[in-house]
Amino acid sequence: MNKSTLTAAILLSAAVSCGKRSDTPGYAGEDLSGKVTVSRDREEKTAVLTVTLPGKWELYAGAAPETIDLSAPILTGSGAGSYTLPVPAGTRSYFQFVTGGNRAILAERQLPMSGGFNMRDLGGYRTSDGRHVKWGRIIRSDDLHSLTDEDLVYLASIPVKTVADFRSPQEVRAMPDKLSPQGMTYVGLPITPGSLDDLQSYIAMTPEEVEAKMEWMNVYFATSDEGRERYRELFRLLQETDDAAILFHCSAGKDRTGMGAALILYALGVPEQTVMEDYLASNGYLAGKYSRYAERFPQLKGMLEVKPNYLSAGIDSIRTAYGSVETYLREELGADIGKLREFYLD
């Protein structure tokens, strides 16, 4: 790992929900999202548990959510605090947190990539009917061009087996993905608008024009022949198998990927407020990636970030044309809602 390229250790957080203890890992009881988190140091990949709850608790660990060892906790404690976890740094672990009558599955939301910024697990989100998106199954990301060997080992431990790339052919040639030598299937799903190759065209625009262009772009993602075809293929990949993770990405992981993530979360029954929160989280994760562009061209700020009206423009266009997002998912994207929820919800 090239430590000289890192100016600080960045802690990466994960939102979780809690529930009652049972003989198998899972969720039950009161929803305590955000009160217990796991994070990983971006440089060392050290795992840290942060607790903001009163009372005694126990933490169990495993290499997969289904194989968490509940015979003995790896850590016990009482009350709030932050605790370094005795788990391997270079591979992913999953955890069950138990306190009183509540239990939860935990993992880091933002994956600790030394060579990436906006790689996030869609797991842990609570659905409208009280279930949760499985951890380690669906991952959204920015480009994979700068991933380190250690990053690729970490992804293989999940394991990520399929990589879907929304970038244009020009972007791919300029910054080809680095994939694990242990085997990842690469699928190109190019969507042309949203490419950072368009950066020059935005420089002459006013901030208002930039924002209008971003809204138009999200409508294009959702309703153009190109956009629908690419997202249709993404859902086909999701519905092929649930025994390994799929990672989908573009350059920044915020626009083409942001719409894709939103559509997946809608299909899984995640509340609209949570869908928007996940979409807007890119602003924090990408803060250091494009800062030099934002400083040099402040008029580009609206293009280098996401705003609620960007995603809303695309979703509103879907509702206008199809009546509901679910109808669009079923009729245009071939989404089998029942299968998706069977595959990806606990």
- Residue ranges of domains in the chain: 1-110, 113-346
pLDDT at 30: 81
18 is catalytic: no
Closest C-alpha among 129, 160, 157 to residue 341: 129
**pLDDT computed for residue 33 by the predictor:** 79
The domain defined by 1-110 carries CATH number 2.30.30: no
Instruction: Yes or no: say if 156 and 84 are a contact pair by the CB < 8 Å rule.
Output: no
pTM for this entry: 0.90
Q: Specify the fold of 113-346.
A: Protein-Tyrosine Phosphatase; Chain A (3.90.190)
Sheet holding 75-78, edge to edge: 75-78, 56-62, 94-99, 102-106
pLDDT for position 284: 93
Sheet architecture: strand order including 47-51? 11-12, 36-41, 47-51, 81-84
Domain 113-346 in the same topology as domain 1-110: no
Dist CA 240 CA 249 (whole Å): 19
In the chain, alpha helices (H)? 149-156, 169-174, 199-203, 207-223, 225-240, 256-267, 272-280, 282-285, 291-296, 308-322, 325-331, 337-344
pLDDT at 23: 67
The per-residue pLDDT string of the chain (346 residues; one tens digit each, 9 = 90 and over) reads 433 333 323 222 333 333 334 468 888 888 767 899 999 988 888 999 999 999 999 999 999 999 999 999 999 999 999 999 999 998 999 999 999 889 999 999 999 999 999 999 999 999 999 999 999 999 999 999 999 999 999 999 999 999 999 999 999 999 999 998 777 899 999 998 866 666 677 788 888 999 999 999 999 999 999 999 999 999 999 999 777 799 999 999 999 999 999 999 999 999 999 999 999 999 999 988 888 877 888 888 899 999 999 999 999 999 999 999 999 999 999 999 999 999 999 9
What counts of helices (H) and strands (E) characterise the chain? 12, 13
Catalytic residue among 250, 268, 281, 286: 250
Q: Record the tokens describing residue 39, joined without a space.
A: 């994070």
Residue 335 and residue 328: Cα distance in Å, rounded?
A: 9
